[in-house]
Chains A and B, each alone.
Chain A
């Protein structure tokens, strides 16, 4: 049917004057052209990200274990019921909060200080900028390994320095101490993440009109007053969006932990993201891993919506 229709259209098109036919085909291709350009990206994203996402959500309600040929049936909410009583998962939730906000606080504060320092013109600024941004270019698995080596008393200097400062009695590896191990990946993450905040905040700082500071100086405002009444309000939108995005990224960022401690010792550094990976990779329990992933997704969505609602309420109160 369809073929017949297109044949008659083609015949009609054949009767049209040459220039009009050109206009029609050009119009048609003009309509189709953007879709043609977008299609490779769209196909990739649907096949490799969206389909697996939907599939993953369905796994959360099924029994899927790779090594068990009899698995695959629906189990309803059984995974979620196990999850509520899973101490390792509850511990991972607490660790995720620790890991995320510990990393974020230092990354942000130090990144802001660095951006403010780099916003002044000084001798060698370009070189310094290239050097302090370098950790961002280091592959994450390598920064993880490198920091793990730094904390190792055999080849790393850090335990010896801590001992010299009186923080430790004898040099030992904090990564094997359940009470302190989380600080290892957090320090590595701070090192890795400072450049991100410094780059984005520096870009925001440089977009502030210089005249504002000049006018404030004429009015007799001190440096501190200028910072509070000009710099901070201008930075606020950038700070809000980067803090929210980074929170989500860090909460999902399991690489450093997998490399440095693999969640140990005794699950003391296990975050939810690394727990998902452990369940899928070591136990091959895809159903349970997907259930944990679904909970993580819901929690992060709730966090993002909460932050957006809070911001809206605050800007409303201002105006």
Chain B
């Protein structure tokens, strides 16, 4: 049985079905995104007549042109960039110092804090919607980008901390001990020696938090009511429910919303390729 398993015919069948199944997964993963792109470049007048064609007979950029110049989407886009960008930077800074202390110090109450952070990953965030609204409203932080940034930062800090901690754990302690003997304080050693070595980890954390904040919908819907503070998900959703007619424009807006997330995905991959240990040896 084992011998026949190595015969050329069986091998051909095995690899044939292997590639066939891989192909099916790739098609399933990419087809919806391809369709989004296809409808976004289809001219309005042939959208319905050529509804199921794989590629339209004519293409146009007018949907993109409309979304970028005639609609509120550039404004939503800017709001989302501000919220997701600030959240990513603040979260990563907070997570870096917390992750560093988890990695390097043994202190009283550490286990309680770690357990607390783990538990926050388990409970349903939907149940915080009403109380957070009640807390933020008197502070004037509903309907504001600042309020969203604070909420998103708190939600993302636990996971980002564990992520950063795992990167710090990969760096030998001798490095900052040597720097401290040379007269640096621990924080200086952390900032000048350790943090630069974890740049790939910092990039991964930034990318992860940015994508999470960029995608968040329910809290953005609940906490923001005005057009001027709407983020991209809220803007796109209200657009859909108000005038569910212009599919070409909505899909063009969808493609635009996809770009930052995919760009960050590629950025993370690029940094993750550089090995952590390689950096530590060089330092």
A positions within 8 Å CB-CB of B = 31, 33-35, 37-38, 40-42, 44-45, 47-53, 55-56, 59, 64, 66, 110, 113-114, 117, 120, 122, 128, 130-135, 137-143, 145-147, 149-150, 153-157, 160, 191, 194-195, 217, 220, 222-223, 248, 251-252, 254-255, 258-259, 273, 276-277, 280-281, 286, 289-290, 293-294, 296-297, 300, 304
Determine if B221 and A281 form an interchain contact, defined as CB atoms under 8 angstroms apart. yes
Residues of A near B243 (CB, < 8 A) are: none
B83 to chain A, nearest CB (A): 13
| Number of A-B residue pairs at CB separation under 8 A | 240
Number of chain B residues whose Cβ lies closer than 8 Å to a Cβ of chain A: 81
Set of chain B residues within 8 Å of A42, measured between Cβ atoms: 113
> Which B residues are CB-close (under 8 A) to A44?
94, 150, 153-154, 157
Contacts of A117 in B (CB 8 A): 18, 21-22, 25
Give bound CA distance, A87 to B189, whole Å.
Answer: 61
B135 engages A55 (CB within 8 Å): yes
Main secondary structure of the interface of B (DSSP, over half): helix
* B35 and A157 form a contact (CB under 8 A): yes
Tell me whether B215 and A38 are in contact (CB under 8 A).
no
The secondary structure that dominates the A interface is: helix
Of B59-67, B170-178, B191-199, B246-254, the one contacting chain A is B246-254
Kindly state the separation between the CA atoms of A223 and B21 in the bound complex, as whole angstroms: 18
Q: Bits for B3-17, please: 1 = Cβ < 8 Å to A, else 0.
A: 001000000000100
> Which residues of the partner chain A approach B247 to less than 8 Å between Cβ atoms?
149, 154-155
Q: Contact check, A53 vs B127: say whether CB atoms are below 8 A apart.
A: yes
**CB–CB A41/B98 < 8 A:** yes
Partner of B155, one of A48, A145, A251: A48
Contact B39–A141 (Cβ < 8 Å): no
Which 9 A-B pairs give the minimum distances between C-beta atoms?
A293-B127, A48-B154, A139-B215, A37-B101, A52-B131, A286-B130, A34-B105, A137-B265, A252-B124
Return chain A residues, CB-CB under 8 Å to B25: 110, 114, 117, 128, 132, 194
List 10 additional contacts besides A138-B262, A141-B217, A145-B254; criterion CB under 8 Å.
A41-B117, A44-B153, A44-B154, A55-B135, A59-B131, A110-B25, A131-B26, A132-B26, A137-B261, A154-B247
